[in-house]
Structure 1
Amino acid sequence: MKKNRIDWVDCAKGITLLLVIIGHTVSTDASNMVRAGIFSFHMTLFFVVSCVTGKLSNSNDEFVKKTEKGFKHLILPALFIYITVLIYVSSKCISEFRSWEFVRKFLKESLLTMVFSSGVNLHVLSAEIKGLGIPWFLVVMFLGKTLFDYMHLKLSERKLIVGCLLLSVTGVAISRLQWLPLSFDIVLTIMPMFYIGYILRKFCVEHKPVLKLLIFGTGWFVTFYLCYKINEGCNGYPYMVYASRQYPSYPFCFLPAILGTLMIAELSVILCKQKKIISPLLYFGKNSLYMLVIHGIDSTWMKRIWLISENIYINIICRIIVDIVVFAAVMYVRGLWNKSKQQRIESMPET
């Protein structure tokens, strides 16, 4: 049985996927306003909508099954990206493996990277940990959804929101002292985002989308601009960045993240009225995990293809095209595989 999909959710994920590619390409400067604006809400949107469409467990047995399914759906792709990047890095320094000291250091850094990496470089136990943009996000998504699902199963409605808020404060406090393995301090911090997705599905997002787009869009711009200006010139980012545990003016920095998410949601509702025109966005959103995995490795194997100019906007266009072409190829092969698998099942003799 096919899942009933929500068009505006797929559209929102499709839009945000393109914004992610733009944000990762436009600049590495934290003060860049385009990058800052995108980063102020792009990850939050995925956390929120994951609980708009995802069904929560009603029993312990269902929780176990959903956890196993989530592990396959999110952790295995994260491991695929990690292994792909590891192979790429190994191929660049293969001559160095003649030294046992290098092998020992490489294995240590590789293991610590798998456990501690997020979207930024850091040092753990005197080892350099390289940032891995998409894998840590997938791990945090899996752990966050699993924890929220368990809390929803065990707590009453009132205790659930209180628990999410307390865990968020705890996560922010811990992150200022020590970053936890598997980015678990971020998992705690984002609990309110899953709760917002949980209650958002109870409201009619499709009602008066133009008016709400203006309200949420204005709210996002004002709160983002205030947060940016208040924290501009301070150490760190002037806006919220999960990967580097930057929560300026917490919890105020959550406002542009939430309002930006609602802004994209209402924009998606409006765009969905022209479903034929935006069908590619719906398809990207429906298969967002594949697009994220491809984008997660396009800075290794495919960097030479899209990084062709000093003009950043040309590189943005090229990177989007490259990711879409690879995505189309992957989905085509996937379609052939599923068709072949179905034919084998149908050709099996009945018992």
Structure 2
Amino acid sequence: MSRDVSFDIAKGFAIICVVLGHSEALGVPADLARAIFTFHMPLFFIVSGYFTKRDAVLDRAYVVRCARSMFLPYAITCAIVLLLFAIRTLLIWPEGLVDVMSTSTLAALYGTGTQEPPLPEGVTQIGAIWFLLALFWGKLFLAAANRAPHTPIVVLILFLWGYYSGWMFWLPLSIQAGACATLFLYFGQRIRECDLLAPSVLSLPLWLVAVGVWLMCINMGYKLVMASNAYPGDMLVDVIGGLCGTLCVIKAAQIISRHLPVLGRSLAWLGTVTLPIFCMHLVELDVFLWENALEFLSALPVPLWASGLALRVALIAVMCVILYFLPRPISGVFFRSRIAGTGEGRTRA
């Protein structure tokens, strides 16, 4: 199957939403952030599921392949975070180096994206990069579920286990987040198999229903946080809202690809570099001294959200450029064009 550029457009739009959704402290309206959280992470899982083959076998080769695609960029990004944490601490608080590094290392090893579920004593969140760990587990869970006699039932059981067990304990490496994400991966797989995105499969009234359901979820003001399996509204409504929101964004991406080619090419390019953007966004979230920056930016004669977002985008862009020019064994993990013998400008999905 040839890759549909509309998926890259949708991912490009979604990665912009990821950055905006994490920028409430910079003045991004809370209502906009809540609207973004109704769909942005479900979209990434659904798109990944769309390109996940049902006949994938859960063997050693598949586990290694998934680990290279997800655990390796996670490990490299965490190493960058730890290195920058060490440099920052040595410059401003050298006597706290041991405490800072031990806490940060434990956070990287535990791999949770949130502080909300009950965590072991001394464990803190690593942040947004939980997504890579959850995607790893979700792909393994989906491969196992696809070999079972009743795949939908197994997927549903995994989702419910991840959801309800998270109230009592939170396992390392975002395993429960991955269990819940399996449902969205499965949605993506079924969307491809049923060819639901073909022009004539879903009628206009059905698309209007999808838009209406998504808008209803946005209007309800709930903030779906997949990092902690938090579905604060009605769980079923939140899941359906994430699915409908994703379908609407992909349909909009198809329209953009046909009728707005300049915008489409820009978003599609962003969609091919979501991995380095996502990882470097995590670095600036964790390491950059935003408290000091906000104090400085608030004194400027421009809106805080404008100056804050400009600084955030600049930081991510600079770090992505530096990452691109690191030795190929490192940069090739994030940019396929940096893999020896590869001329593509796409990142690993």
TM superposition score normalised by structure 2 = 0.79
- Residues 306 and 70 of structure 1: is their aligned pair in 2 closer, same or farther, counting only changes over 3 Å? farther
Q: CA deviation at 1:129?
A: 1.0
Structure 2 CA distance, aligned partners of 1:210 and 1:327? Answer: 41
Aligned counterparts, 1:1-150, within 5 A:
4-27=2-25, 32-59=30-57, 63-94=59-90, 103=98, 105-106=99-100, 108-121=102-115, 124-134=119-129, 136-150=130-144
Q: What is aligned with 1:283?
A: 269
Could you give the per-residue CA deviations for residues 272-329 of structure 1, whole angstroms, max 9, x where no partner exists? Answer: 1133442121122123212212222123566679866331133224423543454456
1:200 aligns with 2:191: yes
Residue segments in structure 1 that go unaligned for 5+ positions in a row: 229-237, 344-351
Matched, 1:255 2:240: yes
Count, aligned residues: 322
Q: Mark the CA change 1:299 to 1:219 in structure 2 (over 3 Å): closer, same or farther.
A: same
2:148 match = 155
- Take 1:124 and 1:58, find their aligned partners in 2: how far apart are those partners? 33
Aligned residue in 1 for 2:257 = 272
Relative to 1, partners in 2 of residues 1:127 and 1:197: Cα closer, same or farther, differing over 3 Å? same
Is the partner of 1:252 in helix, strand or coil?
helix
Deviation at 1:46, TM superposition (A): 0.6
SS in 1 for 2:236: coil
The code of the aligned residue for 2:140 comes to T
Q: Is the CA contact 2:9–2:271 (under 8 Å) kept in the aligned structure 1? A: yes
CA contact (8 A) 2:162 2:177 kept: yes
1:172 partner amino acid: Y
State the TM-score, normalizing by the size of structure 1: 0.79
Aligned equivalents of 1:59, 1:340: Cα separation in 2: 26
Using the TM superposition, give the Cα deviation of residue 64 of structure 1 relative to its aligned residue in structure 2, in angstroms.
Answer: 3.0
Tell me which structure has the larger Cα radius of gyration.
1
Residue in 2 that maps onto 1:320: 313
Q: Percent identity?
A: 20
The aligned counterpart of 2:346 is none
Tell me how far apart the structure 2 counterparts of residues 70 and 190 of structure 1 sit (CA, whole Å): 15
Distance apart, 1:260 and its partner CA: 1.1
Structure 2 partner of 1:297: 283
Superposed displacement of residue 254, structure 1:
1.2
Q: Pick closer, same or farther for the CA change 1:121–1:92 going to 2, 3 Å.
A: farther
- AA of the residue aligned to 1:280: S
**C-alpha RMSD of the superposition:** 3.4
Q: Is the 8 A contact 2:108 2:126 kept in 1?
A: no
Q: Secondary structure at the match of 2:22?
A: helix
Q: Distance in 2 between matches of 1:121 and 1:86?
A: 19
SS of 2:235's partner is coil
- What is the alpha-carbon distance in structure 2 between the residues aligned to residue 221 and residue 141 of structure 1? 27
Contact 1:27 1:35 in 2 (8 A): no
Question: Residues 180 and 37 of structure 1: is their aligned pair in 2 closer, same or farther, counting only changes over 3 Å?
Answer: same
Cα 1:137–1:28 change in 2 (3 A) is farther
Shift of 1:259: 1.3
1:277 & 1:35 partners in 2: Cα distance? 23
Q: Report if the CA contact (8 A) 1:223-1:255 is conserved.
A: no
Return the match for 2:175 from 184, 191, 198: 184
Alignment of 1:201-220 (within 5 A): 201-202=192-193, 203-207=195-199, 211=204, 214-220=208-214
Deviates more, 1:238-247 or 1:171-180: 238-247
